[in-house]
Amino acid sequence: MNIMIRTDASSYIGSGHVMRCLVLAKGLKKKRHNVSFASRPQHGDMIDFIESKGFNVYQLEQPKQWLIPKSDADYSAWLQVSWLEDAQSLLECVDSIDLVIVDHYGINEEWEEYVQKQLNCKLFSIDDLSRTHHADLILDQTLMRTEKNYRIRNPNAKILAGCKFALLAPIFAVYRGMACNKIHNERSTRILLSMGGVDQPNATHKVLQTLKQSPLPHPQVTVLLNFKAPHYQQVKNFSLQNSDWVTHIDFIDDMARLMTKHTIAIGAPGSTSWERACIGIPSIIIPLAENQKDISQSLVQAQAAIKVVLEDIADKLPAAISELNVHWTKFHNASKSLCDGLGLKRVISQVEQLVNNADNTLKLRQAKTMDIEQVYEWQSHPKTRQFSLNSEVPSWTEHKKWMSKQLVNQCDFFYIIELLINKQAVGVIRLENIRVNEYLISIFISPAYHGRGIAKKALSSLDRLHPTFKINATVLPENIASQKLFAGADYQRSSANTFIRPPII
């Protein structure tokens, strides 16, 4: 599949759109798709960085006069040219594309419709603004967003809403497993300060000054700010002058590993919010732009972060840090409940279904409170208990207590197998954490749907979601059907009643 990603970075736009598109591009490239970028050269662009990651970048026409946005919500100025000029500049670069991916607040539905018709291709729009689109697939990874937030011109379009679709590098899911049952020692607070790639209002320096002037002992602080930021040198100088407690980093490739070394994060509520949530780092969020208001409100509502506005940094930041330290475990668990780090795999699966008409018969969705009664009905059925490791049927009270606890367990995975044609729930597949990135699997299908190959397809879906996990299965020797199921799904037999699926990648 030939894919073109249209996105920009600049001193006004920041780097977030490009960074999340690179995550998607790497995932698609790994699946052997041909991916290129189209971007406009300008101050603060990331064209060299994209090319350094192995992707070709088509450089779009520059404007005759550069526009200065009137506000941080003046998205039309971000594009620097009219939508038609931008679209025509893109079409001059390519003549045959299967899919165009757009991640740009300055691009509108007219652009989408025009490009789609000219290239006769599918179009996938990544957005956060709840706008009208002319696209086949729309992604909004904002917490608490739903399909109802979007208006679409294509009646067959599919909307991926919520941070379960957050485009995070796969390594975040790995480190998420390592963060299970993490305990915080208030006396060893380590703060990661990252206000984005631009930080126009210089919030980074304001935070550092506040921490320096606080009567409390200085925590160890890592500052992440790259050399393209307008206030880079001031922050760099401050860090050098206070090197006993501040460490400055220009750029890091392995953000997941860096996050795990810290106990608290202070940052803007952009795409990095979902990275912090996946690892479970309690956060203080400082909104810097209009489009970050909804994310801020959702994170606070979910009790996963504390918001401090720019003007109140000096007065309210120290108290916010103290509150995170005192209630660290509560914020940690609330954060981890928001994002499991598997959004990239879910999105790629949808992209491939869109273009290649791949198998689209079922999906694995996270179990909810509304599923408790249905799961009990399945578990109580004689055909389910026949080969269960524990043949005794639990009471309703026991089941309800057990499953309610499982639904809030951030170290395990509890999925409902659902048919896409009618959204019918037909079974359960669970992963119980036994060691770091190692799980014990449990799967059963509604007796009404036995013999339809659903379990095998569910295991395939699980492989796509969790290729880095080691998965163990325990199956009674007399359970011939399950023995054949795991053997046919490439699980390796390790004894008469155990199978192992090593990490696939």
Q: Minimal CA–CA distance to 20: which of 142, 108, 136? A: 142
- The 3-state DSSP class for residue 242 equals coil
Instruction: Answer left, alpha or beta for residue 451, where phi above 0 means left and psi between -120 and 50 means alpha.
Output: left
Q: How far is CA 111 from the centre of its chain?
A: 27
Contacts of 97 (CB under 8 A, 6+ apart): 2, 3, 4, 119, 121
In the chain, the amino acid numbered 111 is W
Cα(188)–Cα(317) distance, rounded to whole angstroms? 18
| Burial class of residue 243 in the structure, from the number of CB atoms within 10 Å of its CB (0-12 exposed, 13-18 middle, 19+ buried) | exposed
* Ligand-binding site membership of 275 (annotated): yes
| Burial class of residue 301 in the structure, from the number of CB atoms within 10 Å of its CB (0-12 exposed, 13-18 middle, 19+ buried) | exposed
Assigned token pair, 196 = 């984005």
In the chain, the amino acid numbered 458 is A
Q: Which residues are catalytic?
A: 17
What is the bridge-based pairing of β-strands 34-39 and 99-103?
A: unpaired
Cα(237)–Cα(379) distance, rounded to whole angstroms? 63
CA angle 418, 499, 178 (to 5 degrees): 75
Reduce the secondary structure of 1-56 to three states and give it as a string: CEEEEEECCECCCECHHHHHHHHHHHHHHHCCCEEEEEECCCCCCCHHHHHHCCCE
Binding residues: 275
- Binding site as annotated, residues for substrate: 275
